[in-house]
Structure 1
């Protein structure tokens, strides 16, 4: 069954191979609009999946839960976590804050986040994403939300040096249709969306996918609703004892991707860097020793 670091989705995926045909049908139905799809009555859940209510009971027990009420309680807890505002998160952490200096508390949480994220990460997903982002025939777009927009910009800034055809999408969602208008089938859209998930991200992902765009999503352990439109999803641990979520591990994955991409394309990237350094010299952007 799920421990404190696992979501119900994690548990379903871990047990998927052991499920019967009807149970797999139920599991896929639950994952399609997760976690909302699991919050109705057991009868409604069964009807939506086209299975019997005993199938629901058997599957949740096979996953390690005592029964449907416990299974659903975990889903409610996850949903509450994803919509928590900074005040709620602070109050929850403050009541159970570990002892010690804040530097140690935050560092311990971040190191734990790193271990769990790396433990859960599929290296094949990482390699496939780096291969897509290295393909210079594709246009690559980057977009983030109110907080994650700065990480999207950081990723874009490096990719702009490494390759051409990189575009940073404005934070103003009213302009997004114009970006989608210019996207071609086979292009790549990198989305950053962590709790509290931004509604427009799902709309953008859906519209881009309809145009044949390949989506790479950076999200948290619970998973943005945009995940159902993404080919590759990086689920990164973000919780620390603070009112705010941590971006450290997300930035780590981004920096690892940057290194992987420039290694794949080093000959061309080196030439771009040489040209850029010449431009820096002309504009006297950086201080020089005299």
Structure 2
């Protein structure tokens, strides 16, 4: 059923979009435009905002696998609750339902399922499109992360900097961000990381740069950062785990796969950059030599 934690309501809408009628697609777009808040009011209010009839709302809810609109709305409320859960609340919820198996096994099972569900949602076209933007040397690439995800942004930046020039890691202090935006030109790329408890500064940066013609590649979670509506390419990664914190394992998997795709497509240039970098390492004696 669409309300299971394996799939969000938004996932269900996207999966079944081609099967919807014109009116149902109009309704679906209205829901996704301000998701999930748009679906939390009355059925009449949602129908009016979408420009459809209330029976259309009921029909689409059933097409998504729900018994009716109240059941769909309950799923949306559960998703909203999950997105704003504090680390303490998350830990308590997991601890209450934790099975009698070792944490290593429980965590491994959760991460494996996250990977399986994420791969089902990522389209080849989406992945290849993001890789194409990143390997285009006519575009400068800027990378930004949030309070926790900045470590992922740093990891992504460090590897991509070896592959190509024109990379900038945006400092965590948002007061300096206008200085970076000043250097961005139309067609450049911003790679942003934003997961639940979504950060206002990341959304404002995304709004500012996309208005200037910058392409946004977004790494977010299954519920989707508010910045997702602005993204040229968006990766919705499953992040829940039996922990007070969300898991970054699958996000890192997608990041590394994307780095590998860009490196493979630009290997002749990347290989030469790596050769020069190794010479610089030798000159600076940054690494210990055993022979």
Q: Please indicate, yes or no, whether the TM-score normalized by the shorter chain is above 0.5.
A: yes
Deviation at 1:46, TM superposition (A): 1.1
Match of 2:20 in 1: 19
Deviation at 1:50, TM superposition (A): 1.3
Deviation at 1:66, TM superposition (A): 1.3
Match of 2:282 in 1: 281
Which deviates more, 99-108 or 24-33? 99-108
TM-score scaled by length of structure 1: 0.98
Q: Whole-Å Cα distance in 2 between the matches of residues 208 and 233 of structure 1? A: 16
Deviation at 1:233, TM superposition (A): 0.7
Match of 1:187 in 2: 188
Q: Whole-Å Cα distance in 1 between the matches of residues 237 and 60 of structure 2? A: 27
SS in structure 1 of the partner of residue 142 of structure 2: strand
Match of 1:124 in 2: 125
8 Å Cα contact 1:144/1:152 also seen in 2: yes
Does 2:198 match 1:201? Answer: no
Measured against aligned partners, the alpha-carbon deviations of 1:74-98 in whole angstroms (never above 9, x if no partner) come to 0000000001010010000000012
Q: Whole-Å Cα distance in 2 between the matches of residues 149 and 161 of structure 1? A: 19
Match of 1:75 in 2: 76
SS in structure 2 of the partner of residue 157 of structure 1: helix
Deviation at 1:265, TM superposition (A): 0.8
8 Å Cα contact 1:113/1:237 also seen in 2: yes
TM-score scaled by length of structure 2: 0.97
Residue segments in structure 2 that go unaligned for 5+ positions in a row: none
Does 2:67 match 1:66? Answer: yes
SS in structure 2 of the partner of residue 171 of structure 1: coil
Deviation at 1:43, TM superposition (A): 1.5
Deviation at 1:247, TM superposition (A): 0.5
Measured against aligned partners, the alpha-carbon deviations of 1:117-136 in whole angstroms (never above 9, x if no partner) come to 11221111111111110111
Matched ranges for 1:203-242 at <5 A? 203-242=204-243
SS in structure 2 of the partner of residue 167 of structure 1: strand
SS in structure 1 of the partner of residue 236 of structure 2: strand
SS in structure 1 of the partner of residue 41 of structure 2: coil
8 Å Cα contact 1:82/1:222 also seen in 2: yes
Match of 1:95 in 2: 96
Deviation at 1:108, TM superposition (A): 1.2
Match of 1:172 in 2: 173
SS in structure 2 of the partner of residue 195 of structure 1: coil
Q: Whole-Å Cα distance in 2 between the matches of residues 205 and 87 of structure 1? A: 29
Matched ranges for 1:260-275 at <5 A? 260-275=261-276
Please give the root-mean-square deviation of Cα atoms over the aligned residues, in Å.
1.0
Deviation at 1:62, TM superposition (A): 2.3
SS in structure 1 of the partner of residue 220 of structure 2: strand
Deviation at 1:4, TM superposition (A): 2.8
Which deviates more, 161-170 or 3-12? 3-12
Deviation at 1:61, TM superposition (A): 2.0
SS in structure 1 of the partner of residue 185 of structure 2: coil
Match of 2:6 in 1: 5
Measured against aligned partners, the alpha-carbon deviations of 1:256-290 in whole angstroms (never above 9, x if no partner) come to 11111111111111111111111111111000124
Deviating beyond 4 angstroms after TM superposition, the runs of 4 or more aligned structure 1 residues are none
Match of 2:112 in 1: 111
SS in structure 1 of the partner of residue 217 of structure 2: strand
